Amino acid sequence: MNNTADLLSDKRSGDEILTIDVILKEVNEVKGHSGEACMILFDGYCHNDIFNGDILNGGVDTQRQEAGSLLRTLSARYILKGKDFEGNDCKIFIENNGTANGGQFTTTPKILTDSSALKPLESYDFVGSISDTEEEGHIKIHIKKK
């Protein structure tokens, strides 16, 4: 079986660590006088070589934009529950903060986990991005080593 050195330590800058398939469930928004905000509820899953599991209920992405500005901020928080690459039950918490200036979001994910095998993820610097899929209401979150 692969070990941490094989699956995590050998990852280089730009290598994708996690890809999360997100299913958008509900959007709640308010358009105020000085800006707008929305909260996007979601679930989904992650299946790759280091982790297999699902997003637990409560995943939410909060976005804000001031009136007259092209800058949009996001802060998404969610917990994945599944198994690490050693087959142990575990959870991964992801906080993904970012901005878009009239275009694609760039994010800075932070990870916490109760998995001993995935513990190195807590110390990595990550960069994240979001891509569309062919399926309506679905997106992918890409978390890469910085």
What pLDDT score was predicted for residue 103? 75
| Band (6; pLDDT cuts 50, 70, 90) | low
For the segment 45-53, the average pLDDT, to the nearest whole number, is 96
What pLDDT score was predicted for residue 3? 53
Q: Higher-confidence residue: 118 or 13?
A: 118
| Band (1; pLDDT cuts 50, 70, 90) | very low
Sign of CA dihedral 84, 141, 132, 10: negative
pLDDT, the chain, mean:
92
